[in-house]
Structure 1
């Protein structure tokens, strides 16, 4: 049997359905993001680990120039190593009909017999190789899909300077290519990078590697110490041109997947509590109004025998119903959003499958936390219920003391009409309540400013990277470090306006306990096409006595200008340099480091060498230039900046970056909910007063002005407060989004304030219009009734 208090609960909820729905929506958003993002973290992490385990992903990678096959046995004998495998790899250029430029590719050997013991592959179409046929290859499935290639098709590729023709017999995926990017690049693009698997004997013949390997792969036991294994591998491979062994955490594909998971985990911990905090604040305001307006009802309930606990529990149930309803809706929407988002990740990361897995802990945590936060907001008010005795509750509340605030607006009275004076008195005589409404709207304003600023920051990252720092049209990379005469050959090409050399050297940076495996880039002193810039976009001059670090790398290494950095070169004489950090460059993509080109070559012991070049060209002659570049055997790849920019934009619009659009929409909805709540609360508190004004002769417009004028003032006060809060929130969220792939810098953007302010004002206008309709339809007799 349903009791009287339960009947009252449902009547009260129906009466305040608009406000309850707005608060429940805020809670639902927080739970939605928590369930979606924690589910994505669980799905990505568990699928990656299972994929690695099923296809024997290596834990150690050790490239070398040329090592004899018998060294594999020595590598396998290192303590902690469970399996060792040597393979041949090489760069290639694939000719495709859909592009004027050849596409970079990596060629990988497969054993002539059986499957590779480490770093296996998944055949998704066609058949396995017949190692007796040297022209048969497997092709990376994502690359084949981008160029509409299928088993049975033929393609041509340049390997080690020679043109070869192949027949595709199968399409494959592999765990080491979850994130597909060309060597030396961090932007993935299925159409611009491919992987070819072919028999060991055929690939060894193509790269003069008979009886040798140039990359060792190792798996480790649970008790293995990776640092000791890496040191042992380096000792064995150093005489054979070892380029430095590194662990799985430094593997390009795994690093980006891990960064994506870390970004999702960070936002799942930082963003949802903000929404739940706003919901708790709104509940506090609403419950305060309800307790104050229902003083007489509380007194009657206590007079009829209901205990303090029963009355308080009645109002607490109201809070829990609102919070619980929002949490359940948010959990269901979070599951739906997560299932939709995994489809995006399947396109971005090359998993064979990805099923959204609900994290039970996230569901429990999301629903429980929302109920707890809502309860805390309600309990702060419910303490007043216990203090009310029946006699005190059934008496009208004591008039507020306005003696100290009544003169604030006295100087303005002669300039204001009666409705305006009423608005001013309301604001000055109830400053705490007005401050609460202002803070509530400021929270909504802050969310909007943060999300709009974040979207502008993503766009700023693209603009800074591809227009300010990089002013070239394309860049070329060579198969190996070549002499500077290659630069002169490029300069002599018709249509080439400007050429700027660069050299990338693989290195390991160390600063105490902090280390990072990356590359040191040598730039010319007067660089024009690709520049290192400071935080004010001013060019940083290259120096021969030190290194310039990107801001992201400096943060990873916990280092500042003036500190000294250990740089372990992985080419040439493989010197270990002790260099001062002479500057920090503002970088929005990757974690680069720069040094003056001549000084870097001198340190390596290979003067006058370059590994690539940036070009500015006459676009009207681009086809001729591309054709001539194709004929140069030492060129490993050509990358158009426009293609890179387009690919980078896709990164920003997918994965964790796509969440910013969802959050921006949600912020707009919450802004409206907060403003609408403030307007409804103000109307509920003053319904009798407004009806009285109508009875004594005020017009509908004047009565509406008395109520909505207060809303306008509160909204205008909230805008600057919300702007400051928004920039602080934007900084926190941008830190969560930033990773090794790209860095999002939150900076004050006047346009974001303007856009958010327009959104808040539009919400205020629409909310005011809805409340005005209620004022116009109000039953004056019913509104003036009182139970005294």
Structure 2
């Protein structure tokens, strides 16, 4: 082994604590990059493969009723590769021991053979026997949540009639990757299921013999999707067509796409921040390490080593630390990505999901780490190489303490000698101190910003389920009912208050922007289900216009005073032009609100309701649920407590779960930054501290000279770190927000306090480790420095 290589090994062992800390910081940044880019790749590729393999439709066209012969005309539309007509409708599943009816979607399958579009993946049991009208396939996630298996029986109400079915198989479908109870946004496997039946059996249940109420179309590679949808709408208009829409507006696919898009946005924002902090820290550390070995570099040059040989030697050290940290980050990123995949397998109903790494993430992580370290080394080495060996071996010119001396003289009455030494150290090298301050501030900002995001998610839950929704139960009807139904609900024993609502599906347009959603009709001064302004105060709904959620306003690029086009997709399907009169700070979903009377008048359907929210006496709950279960007009009943649990699970899974991972990693970076600052200061001043000991300073006084510097730098970093944390919290809130939920940019005092406490704890721990090493220093060895 060559001498320089032996020196390299000795140097790495000597600074092993710093090397490990630097490597950990690098590993954290690379870990996030590898994990998050891999998750985006895995979800996107798995979704694409699943859709292709099971032939998910490109166009969905719900309608009231059309004869089967119309499918021939739909299949003949230019660009259509395959077409399938089916029967679909809502159902209520009644399980023994369950007070609440469980909501389900019933979907038909061809009597013979696999469907040309929207096939199913059988996970257990067998397919349907067309000769047995009572056989069904059940959504796997629902069956497992309820403990159902092939061979079990269940009762379900379809179009007012209760029927008994036998489960013969469990299935999944790309159409139902994301399943939510009607009227809710969060999935709940135990409260919503999908039933597949043979076409003949389901058509008989819904009076659809020889007809269908939903058309599915698959398009060719060169098809004009907009032209196909327009042609479908023209053909189905006489049959109550509700407007064809593409895969991008399909409920399940939209939520999956939103999750992937949110994850992709987070990937482009968060890992670069971590890598930038790691690169900055690495540059400072390497620069100061090389500067501290100035005399050794001069000695090597005096022995005949060329500038190139010395450069290669130090670059080997840089590469060893940076590459080890980057490789560790790659391995940990793969492990973390594989564990995160389990979240998504539960969150989305993929039959398989294998974590796929993105090679570009490995390359980028290693390159950024190595290049950042190399840049720091080059800056200092260039200045050292310009010196002759004799000059390089000589200690640097003593700094000018004149300015510091004047400051110290002014504070002499309050500062003792060790304190004045700390002050001189800080004032003589302001650039170096500023670098340490910025490094610690960056770590503090990461902690504060990510902890604020945790508080922001909690704020979403509080506003949505404590301030906006103050009901206990939400009841939805099969179709819009007369308002006398509200009187029937009010007469139920145990019902304290009832508020009607009307939810109308519609396509909302403003300029070139469209959104397929719904208009929510509420009473003028709601008390149970309220729209809130940005100050969390209830908004009184006026009769002359519509109020949009802030997320919907952003999507449509619309502001109060603008006109909103509402293309209603039920009943007479009128086209309404309504003024926007306000913006609501709705954090879950993207609804539009309107006074229910004004909405009914615009639809020319007075005194109609599609649901109600109830405040009930908890003790009367089971009796109320049983009564609602037997009401034929009721399509579903959901409890706010269950909906809250589902939303909490939603934001704690998928991309939301990564906030916990990143918060933990931010603490690792914070400790690494502070620890390195302390270790570098120790390496630079070991000889000075030994000299003070020889001159008669106690161990405590000598350690104070070093640790006082760390304390001043840490305290100076706190206000800067908190300011940077506020900016980071705002950016992270935007990155985490999706159509599903919007995260407010909440910069809480609790998050700031915890982040400051973390930095101070890291500083105390680092100071203790440094002082322990200082107490063990051999004074004679420390003073034997070649000059």
The interval holding the TM-score normalised by the smaller chain is over 0.9
Structure 2 residue runs without a partner (length 5+): none
SS of residue in 2 equivalent to 1:404: helix
Shift of 1:304: 2.5
Counterpart in the other structure of 1:610: 609
Q: How does 1:559-598 map to 2 (within 5 A)?
A: 559-598=558-597
After superposition, what is the alpha-carbon deviation per residue over 1:522-544, rounded to whole angstroms, capped at 9, x for unaligned? Answer: 11111111111111101122122
Counterpart in the other structure of 1:743: 742
Counterpart in the other structure of 2:197: 198
Counterpart in the other structure of 2:645: 646
Q: Determine the C-alpha separation between the residues in 2 that align with 1:372 and 1:78.
A: 57
Q: Determine the C-alpha separation between the residues in 1 that align with 2:558 and 2:231.
A: 29
After superposition, what is the alpha-carbon deviation per residue over 1:327-377, rounded to whole angstroms, capped at 9, x for unaligned? Answer: 111111111111222122111111111111222222223222332333333
SS of residue in 2 equivalent to 1:413: coil
* 1:246 aligned onto 2:241: no
Shift of 1:310: 2.5
Q: Determine the C-alpha separation between the residues in 1 that align with 2:356 and 2:199.
A: 39
Tell me, yes or no, if the aligned pair for 1:280 and 1:377 is still in contact at 8 Å: no
SS of residue in 2 equivalent to 1:582: strand
Q: Determine the C-alpha separation between the residues in 2 that align with 1:616 and 1:686.
A: 70
* 1:121 aligned onto 2:125: no
SS of residue in 2 equivalent to 1:190: coil
Tell me, yes or no, if the aligned pair for 1:406 and 1:429 is still in contact at 8 Å: no
Q: Determine the C-alpha separation between the residues in 2 that align with 1:523 and 1:387.
A: 77
After superposition, what is the alpha-carbon deviation per residue over 1:405-447, rounded to whole angstroms, capped at 9, x for unaligned? Answer: 4323432210122222222222233222221111111111111
Counterpart in the other structure of 2:707: 708
* 1:21 aligned onto 2:13: no
* 1:415 aligned onto 2:380: no
TM-score by length of 2: 0.98
After superposition, what is the alpha-carbon deviation per residue over 1:311-335, rounded to whole angstroms, capped at 9, x for unaligned? Answer: 2232222222211111111111111
Q: 1:411 to 1:650 in 2, by over 3 A?
A: same
Q: 1:325 to 1:626 in 2, by over 3 A?
A: same
SS of residue in 2 equivalent to 1:673: helix
Q: Determine the C-alpha separation between the residues in 2 that align with 1:497 and 1:320.
A: 70
Tell me, yes or no, if the aligned pair for 2:287 and 2:379 is still in contact at 8 Å: no
Q: Determine the C-alpha separation between the residues in 1 that align with 2:716 and 2:284.
A: 18
Counterpart in the other structure of 2:319: 320
Tell me, yes or no, if the aligned pair for 1:280 and 1:376 is still in contact at 8 Å: no
* 1:689 aligned onto 2:688: yes
Q: Determine the C-alpha separation between the residues in 1 that align with 2:371 and 2:573.
A: 58
Q: Determine the C-alpha separation between the residues in 2 that align with 1:83 and 1:597.
A: 41
SS of residue in 2 equivalent to 1:362: helix
Q: Determine the C-alpha separation between the residues in 2 that align with 1:327 and 1:675.
A: 20
Shift of 1:467: 0.8
Tell me, yes or no, if the aligned pair for 2:551 and 2:590 is still in contact at 8 Å: yes
Q: Determine the C-alpha separation between the residues in 1 that align with 2:385 and 2:567.
A: 70
Q: Determine the C-alpha separation between the residues in 1 that align with 2:377 and 2:266.
A: 27
Q: Determine the C-alpha separation between the residues in 2 that align with 1:221 and 1:371.
A: 47
Tell me, yes or no, if the aligned pair for 1:308 and 1:385 is still in contact at 8 Å: no
Counterpart in the other structure of 2:144: 145
Tell me, yes or no, if the aligned pair for 1:284 and 1:380 is still in contact at 8 Å: no
- Larger deviation: 291-300 or 520-529? 291-300
Shift of 1:98: 4.7
Q: Determine the C-alpha separation between the residues in 2 that align with 1:668 and 1:710.
A: 22
Q: Determine the C-alpha separation between the residues in 2 that align with 1:32 and 1:76.
A: 49
Q: Determine the C-alpha separation between the residues in 1 that align with 2:396 and 2:365.
A: 39
After superposition, what is the alpha-carbon deviation per residue over 1:708-763, rounded to whole angstroms, capped at 9, x for unaligned? Answer: 12211211111111111112112222222211211112212000000111111111
Counterpart in the other structure of 1:461: 460
Q: Determine the C-alpha separation between the residues in 1 that align with 2:415 and 2:97.
A: 73
Q: How does 1:248-287 map to 2 (within 5 A)?
A: 248-287=247-286
SS of residue in 1 equivalent to 2:529: coil
After superposition, what is the alpha-carbon deviation per residue over 1:77-121, rounded to whole angstroms, capped at 9, x for unaligned? Answer: 111111111111110100123521010000011112222111010
SS of residue in 1 equivalent to 2:728: helix
- Larger deviation: 520-529 or 9-18? 9-18
Q: Determine the C-alpha separation between the residues in 2 that align with 1:714 and 1:228.
A: 65
Tell me, yes or no, if the aligned pair for 1:283 and 1:319 is still in contact at 8 Å: no
Q: Determine the C-alpha separation between the residues in 2 that align with 1:486 and 1:385.
A: 87
Shift of 1:697: 1.5
Q: Number of matched residues?
A: 787
Give the aligned CA root-mean-square deviation in angstroms.
Answer: 1.4
Q: 1:687 to 1:518 in 2, by over 3 A?
A: same
Q: Determine the C-alpha separation between the residues in 2 that align with 1:117 and 1:684.
A: 72
- Larger deviation: 344-353 or 387-396? 387-396
Structure 1 residue runs without a partner (length 5+): none
Q: How does 1:105-254 map to 2 (within 5 A)?
A: 105-254=104-253
SS of residue in 1 equivalent to 2:722: helix
Counterpart in the other structure of 2:557: 558
* 1:472 aligned onto 2:503: no
Tell me, yes or no, if the aligned pair for 1:504 and 1:520 is still in contact at 8 Å: yes
Counterpart in the other structure of 2:598: 599
Q: Determine the C-alpha separation between the residues in 2 that align with 1:680 and 1:659.
A: 31
TM-score by length of 1: 0.98
Shift of 1:545: 2.2
Q: Determine the C-alpha separation between the residues in 2 that align with 1:527 and 1:352.
A: 43
Tell me, yes or no, if the aligned pair for 1:344 and 1:655 is still in contact at 8 Å: yes
